[in-house]
Amino acid sequence: MATQQVITRYRTFFSYVDAMSLANKMSPITKIFILLFFNAYPIIIDNPIYNAIFGFFNIISMKVFKATLIHVEKYFKILMTLALFIFVSVIFFGRSVAGPNPTVIATIGPIEIYSQSLGFGFMVYVRMFALVSAMLLWLSITTTSDLMCAFEKLRISYVARTYLTMAFRFIGMFDSDFNTIQDAQRARGLDIKSQPLWRRPFVFGYYLIPLTAITIKKAIEAGTTMEARAFKAPLKIKLLEEKKDVKQTYVGKYYWRYSGKDTMIIALLIIAFVGLLIARFYGLLANPFM
């Protein structure tokens, strides 16, 4: 009888990642630098072509890092709905972002459509695509232990790093609760996928209200559980720990890893960040469609 091979996976903030993934060999500090750089990149760059390439790079990286992509698809569908609002906005109210000398490319009744406003809308949409894909990538390869360990090595106080880590954990809980509410609403005859594109934002309110209520309830339950376990946060939270108060925890001892490859990755990220700032200063990252 053939034996079935069991694949070990680690629970990340957003999904699961294979135990043999390259992401699990990275240092927690490296992942912090990746978070900072990957979120700064789309903000610094105005050229939507570069941001689009960066967004697709993030999606490909999820496959390379062997992250589970079962929950990712719906976020890009939401981006498609958001694109409708962005381009409707720049069509009807595009004069404010069209610049001092706009070029009219079409007219719909009294409404003039400017090429610069469409270029601005395209830039905003692709920037959001790059930001969302970058955040999804980071959440898909980072575990709670990674983040706690990184904050500990950065001497972030225990209370502050607990709050920050819980905030990231709520993203995964938010996604799970949304799926539960979606199934419950579908059982009652409401399926957002069957609605026309223009009506979906209005129907989304039927998902948002119970989702907000569940999130608040879980936050209260988490606070009660932490208090029952003798966790008490002071009224004034210190961001950094003093040297005399630094104590190595179990997470900091057993989940810490660092190698020469991490040094190379961090150095490349810093060099790339400085290069982006220089390129922006000289106007090399401007939006060519405006």
pLDDT tens for each residue of 49-69: 999 999 999 989 988 888 876
Confidence of residue 28 (pLDDT cuts 50, 70, 90): very high
The owner of tokens 């929950």 is 71
pLDDT at 277: 95
273: Cα separation from own chain's centroid:
19
* Inside any domain, residue 150: no
Q: Does 176 score more than 60 pLDDT?
A: yes
Q: Is 100 exposed, middle or buried (0-12, 13-18, 19+ CB in 10 A)?
A: exposed
DSSP assignment letter at 223 = H
Task: Specify whether the backbone of 235 is left (phi greater than 0), alpha (psi in -120 to 50) or beta.
Answer: alpha
CA nearest neighbour of 24 among 142, 112, 115: 142
Using CA atoms, how far residue 219 sits from 15, 99, 103, 157, 236, in Å, is 21, 45, 50, 21, 20
Please name the residue ranges forming H helices in the chain: 28-44, 48-64, 73-92, 115-141, 144-153, 158-187, 200-203, 205-228, 250-254, 260-281
CA nearest neighbour of 157 among 236, 235, 241: 241
* Inside any domain, residue 48: yes
* Inside any domain, residue 3: yes
Pairing of strands 104-108, 9-11: unpaired
pLDDT digits (tens, 9 = 90+) for 111-145: 888 888 888 888 988 999 999 899 889 988 998 88
Lowest mean per-residue pLDDT among 69-83, 93-107, 221-235: 69-83
Q: Does 274 score more than 90 pLDDT?
A: yes
Confidence of residue 155 (pLDDT cuts 50, 70, 90): confident
pLDDT at 209: 82
CB 40 within 8 A of CB 114: no
Please tell me the total count of domains within the chain.
2
pLDDT at 31: 94
**Residue 119 shares a structural domain with residue 196:** no
Give the separation between CA 95 and CA 248, rounded to whole angstroms: 57
* Inside any domain, residue 250: no
CB atoms within 10 A of CB 141: 27
pLDDT at 197: 66
**Residue 229 shares a structural domain with residue 287:** no
pLDDT at 77: 66
Give the separation between CA 152 and CA 126, rounded to whole angstroms: 35
Instruction: Give the pair of three-digit tokens for residue 264.
Output: 């190379």
Per the structure, the complete domain to which residue 230 belongs is given by 156-245
pLDDT at 231: 72
Q: Does 6 score more than 60 pLDDT?
A: no
pLDDT at 100: 79
pTM of structure: 0.81
**Residue 47 shares a structural domain with residue 10:** yes
Q: Which amino acid is at 250?
A: Y
CB atoms within 10 A of CB 98: 21
Beta-carbon contacts of residue 170 (< 8 Å; ≥ 6 apart): 215, 218, 219
Give the separation between CA 173 and CA 156, rounded to whole angstroms: 24
**Residue 33 shares a structural domain with residue 135:** yes
What is the mean pLDDT of the segment spanning 259-275?
A: 95
**Residue 52 shares a structural domain with residue 178:** no
* Inside any domain, residue 281: yes
pLDDT at 270: 96
pLDDT at 43: 93
Instruction: Give the pair of three-digit tokens for residue 196.
Output: 């026309």
Q: Does 13 score more than 80 pLDDT?
A: yes
Lowest mean per-residue pLDDT among 16-20, 75-79, 217-221: 75-79
pLDDT at 1: 45
Report the chain's mean pLDDT, rounded to a whole number: 82
- Output 285 or 105, whichever has higher pLDDT: 285
pLDDT at 266: 95
In the three-class reduction of DSSP (H, G, I as helix; E, B as strand; rest coil), residue 17 is classed as: strand
CA nearest neighbour of 144 among 61, 227, 255: 255
**Residue 76 shares a structural domain with residue 183:** no
CB atoms within 10 A of CB 248: 10
pLDDT at 36: 94
Q: Does 70 score more than 70 pLDDT?
A: no
